Structure 1
């Protein structure tokens, strides 16, 4: 959601606003009303202020004393190392997009016990040399179409189509230089 004026204290109160700012303020007021932070009479007054606001100062007064919205969790994370190992295993949250960058090291991502909050996860690889191994959940679908390999082809044996596929879709993209990517499904 777009941050509003009181969420950005450095915002110039005299700077003009557009329709997107007004729409965002109206949505925030609706949410505050539904959660009981604003009475019916106060809602009418604040909506009028938000809809007729011309600058950020006007909009801030319409939204004054409302609870500050929590920001959305990051949907992209980057794991990077020049050399050495990159390793993730056990229970961990997988972001919507995971970027993995390594010039010389090995990469091992074990997603078998990971928590997936998105039905589709993109893993973007930027690897120079070294091997990469990704273990995916048993019921996952893997798409390697967007991966470019330089020296060795990736190795992946898809599970048979008769297995239920209600798990996440994992799209692996990016580029690998001289290493090899091995993708396998978890045994249990």
Structure 2
């Protein structure tokens, strides 16, 4: 006999639906499924009535839990990461006052997409990304100064995608690509 958690005929809760949507979005972001397939599966999940309906949309997706968020925080002073450090899939950087410098040029990046969430009050921030990386700053809001970022004219395919989001109060974010 199957338990209520495993019974495919049990009605789908909104929490189950949201979990399925997040799993699909993560699979797409990590390159496991193409855009068209994600759209089809999302439609299937959003119109599902039972757990069995959702199970067929989740078939062949990699199992696993979402990567936890790592946080680097300081009330004041400097936050600095450089050299060969392991970059988590989700990184939150929080500082009320002070400078932030993240150098990813020699870092170990194991994920095709890295999300960096900034929560900065005042002070400057500088992020150096690998030469082949692409950078997305659409999710970042700044209070006082704009972001300084000049995309590379020629980027190598296959580099990691660095998505920067969050908020900055007073200060400037400078993003540059590593020279070597």
TM-score, length-normalised on structure 2? 0.64
Larger Rg over CA atoms: 1
Conservation of the 8 A alpha-carbon contact between 1:110 and 1:135: yes
Higher strand share: 2
CA distance in 2, matches of 1:155, 1:145: 13
CA distance in 1, matches of 2:4, 2:117: 37
CA distance in 2, matches of 1:116, 1:126: 22
Q: Which runs of 4+ in 1 moved over 4 A?
A: 71-74
- The reply on whether 1:169 has 2:156 as its aligned counterpart is no
- The reply on whether 1:143 has 2:130 as its aligned counterpart is no
Alignment partner, residue 177 of structure 2: 185
Please state how far the C-alpha of 1:83 moved relative to its aligned partner.
0.2
Alignment partner, residue 29 of structure 2: none
What are the equivalent positions in structure 2 for 1:17-96 lying under 5 Å apart? 18-19=5-6, 75-96=68-89
Alignment partner, residue 108 of structure 2: 115
Conservation of the 8 A alpha-carbon contact between 1:147 and 1:173: yes
Q: Deviations over 1:60-116 (max 9, x none)?
A: xxxxxxxxxxx9795320000000000000001111110000000100000000111
CA distance in 1, matches of 2:134, 2:86: 18
SS in 1 for 2:170: coil
Alignment partner, residue 128 of structure 1: 121
Please state how far the C-alpha of 1:166 moved relative to its aligned partner.
1.4
- C-alpha root-mean-square deviation of aligned residues, in Å? 1.9
CA distance in 1, matches of 2:133, 2:68: 20
1:173/1:154 CA distance change after superposition, 3 Å? same
Conservation of the 8 A alpha-carbon contact between 1:141 and 1:165: no
Conservation of the 8 A alpha-carbon contact between 2:133 and 2:155: no
List gaps (5 residues or longer) in structure 2: 8-63
CA distance in 2, matches of 1:118, 1:100: 18
* Matched residues, number: 122
